[in-house]
Amino acid sequence: MEQSWRWFGLGDVVPLSAIRQAGASGVVTSLHQIPYGVVWSVAEIEERKALLAADPSLGLRWNVVESLPIHERIKIGEGDLTELFDNYRQSMRNLAACGVKTICYNFMPVLDWTRTELYHRLPGGGSALRFNAHEFAAFDCFMLQRKGAEGDHSAEVLRRAKDWFIDASEDDKSKLLNNIMAGLPGAFDRYDIPALRKHLARYNDISVEGLRENLARFLREVIPTAEEHGMRLAIHPDDPPKSLMGLPRIVSKAEDLEFITKAVDSVANGVTFCTGSLGAGPHNDLPAIARKFASRIHFAHLRNVAKDPDGSFMEADHLGGDTDMVEIVDILLAEQKRRKDAGEASWRIPFRPDHGHELLDDIGKGSFPGYSAIGRLKGLAEIRGVMTALAKVKSLPL
């Protein structure tokens, strides 16, 4: 498996040298400065590649785009989308021409990943990302005041949400809004409450079936280009894998992945296997999902979560939490062997340690939430140990 690391460009407080020190060689990055729907030029792609290659001794290469964002109008199916599809395909061609051929993307409406705490304190003083069900319910029901929101939360969660809202200061409420808006670092849009209400209203008439068809349309438009250029698209699961703020979610469980991979039945139409996103859903059997869709896993995010009965969850140690990471790595290594035995040129599955804890000297450095250096280094080292042990015992290629 290709050990990789997410890097946000020159604004990232984690330097490229730290990626090499962590033992990774693949760099997962994106051109966050380019607005959604605008073509990524060859010059801009090559400029990012040149940053990675500036010190050849580091041995870094851009192996995965995360992400080439999909414009919200495509998700909604709004208006004439010809130019947006044309631009997306041209960006794909330009990436392929520069040798970058794996694209991670998502189809989550409005927001990317969602947490209510970005720095939940851990024993010893570190911190982790956390989703508190009652805080999100307080936001949904009492701050956003979404019509019908109460029906999406249990009575106990609503009781705790009301208590939180009554006791919360204006600073507490502002912090919660900012945490929920944080989403994917580098995401282009942030909203205040009125703007969020307006944006949510655009989805009033979009059902799960409607969003699925819009995704299928996107795949029909772009997968032929991926096939033509030897590219792999890998959709990222919803995070968390359930409806938020009344929005439809369509990449949350095995049945969703079944629909997606069959919508355009091509090896180019694949999955980012995120053990944290899928793992936050109590309905998901991760080893079973990994086995079923192994041939379509083009990229992996390996992290772990610990779930609470009320729907809350927290980022756990990479080898802790509720997911058997050893079994997941075993499945991925076995799939790699199948690909290598079949003579596939690009048989290694790139992966990265995801959402590490903020630890030790990284505390207070201002890294993107979940993307401090030491927490991810710890996760990568743990996963590397699992990989090495399994490969040795089972004679599997790394």
The sheet carrying 313-316 orders its strands as: 117-121, 127-131, 313-316, 304-307
Residues 388, 269 share a domain: yes
d(CA 304, CA 375): 13
175, 195, 215 - which closes a domain:
195
| The predicted structure's pLDDT at residue 188 | 54
138, 173, 195 - which closes a domain:
195
When pLDDT is averaged across residues 62-86 and rounded to a whole number, the result is 96
Residues 211, 187 share a domain: no
Residues 384, 273 share a domain: yes
Residues 174, 46 share a domain: no
- Just list the catalytic residues: 236, 274, 301, 354-355, 371
Cβ pair 62, 27 in contact under 8 A: yes
Residues 36, 23 share a domain: yes
Number of domains in the chain: 2
Note whether residue 315 is domain-resident.
Answer: no
Note whether residue 316 is domain-resident.
Answer: no
Note whether residue 314 is domain-resident.
Answer: no
Note whether residue 313 is domain-resident.
Answer: no
d(CA 257, CA 284): 12
Backbone angles phi, psi at 38, to 5 degrees: -95, 145
Residues 226, 121 share a domain: no
| The predicted structure's pLDDT at residue 201 | 94
Residues 156, 41 share a domain: no
pLDDT confidence tier of residue 103, bands split at 50, 70 and 90: very high
The number of C-alpha atoms within 13 Å of 283 and in the hemisphere containing its C-beta is 8
Residues 67, 180 share a domain: no
pLDDT confidence tier of residue 189, bands split at 50, 70 and 90: low
When pLDDT is averaged across residues 123-150 and rounded to a whole number, the result is 97
146, 166, 195 - which closes a domain:
195
**Residue 67, preceding bond cis, omega within 30 degrees?**
yes
Residues 212, 224 share a domain: yes
Note whether residue 224 is domain-resident.
Answer: yes
When pLDDT is averaged across residues 194-221 and rounded to a whole number, the result is 96
Q: At residue 185, does pLDDT exceed 80?
A: no
d(CA 233, CA 297): 10
When pLDDT is averaged across residues 117-139 and rounded to a whole number, the result is 97
Residues 133, 227 share a domain: no
For the beta carbon of residue 293, count every other beta carbon within 10 angstroms: 18
Note whether residue 317 is domain-resident.
Answer: no
pLDDT confidence tier of residue 111, bands split at 50, 70 and 90: confident
Q: Which of 279, 296, 381 is nearest to 338 (CA)?
A: 296
pLDDT confidence tier of residue 182, bands split at 50, 70 and 90: confident
**Domain span at 153:** 117-195
Q: At residue 187, does pLDDT exceed 80?
A: no
Note whether residue 102 is domain-resident.
Answer: yes
When pLDDT is averaged across residues 146-152 and rounded to a whole number, the result is 96
Q: At residue 94, does pLDDT exceed 90?
A: yes
State the CATH number of the domain containing residue 264. 3.20.20.150
Residues 60, 94 share a domain: yes
Residues 76, 140 share a domain: no
When pLDDT is averaged across residues 266-270 and rounded to a whole number, the result is 98
- This prediction has a pTM of 0.96
Cβ pair 227, 268 in contact under 8 A: yes
